[in-house]
Amino acid sequence: MTSAHSDPPPVTVRVPGKLNLELLVGPRRPDGYHALSTVYQAVSLFDDVTVAAADEWGVTVTGDRAHGVPADDDNLAMRAARLLSARAGDAGPVHVTVRKGIPVAGGMAGGSADAAAALVACDHLWNVGLSREELELAAAELGSDVPFLVAGGTAMGSGRGELLAPVLARGTYHWVFALGPEGLSTPSVYAECDRLRGSAPVLDPLPNAELMSALRSGDPHILAPHLVNDLQEAAVSLVPRLGDVLDAGMEYGALAGLVSGSGPTVAFLVEDAEAGIDLAVSLTASGVVADIRRATGPVHGAHLIPAPVD
Known catalytic residues are: 18, 145
* DSSP 8-state assignment for residue 63: S
Q: Is the peptide bond before 93 cis (omega within 30 degrees of 0)?
A: yes
Neighbours of 208 (CB within 10 A): 17
Three-class DSSP category at 185: coil
* DSSP 8-state assignment for residue 184: -
Return the closest-CA partner of residue 48 out of 113, 96, 98, 95.
Answer: 98
Distance CA 276, CA 284 (A): 12
Three-class DSSP category at 219: coil
DSSP secondary structure, 1-61, as one string: ---GGGSPPPEEEEEEEEEEEEEEEEEEPTTSPEEEEEEEEEEEEEEEEEEEE-SS-EEEE
List, in order, residues 6 or more apart from 213 with CB less than 8 Å away. Answer: none
Helices 132-140 & 76-87 angle (0-180, nearest 10): 120
Cβ-contact 253, 278 below 8 angstroms: yes
Phi, psi of 61 (to 5 degrees): -120, 125
Distance CA 228, CA 47 (A): 26
Q: Residue 124: is it exposed, middle or buried by C-beta count within 10 angstroms (0-12/13-18/19+)? A: middle
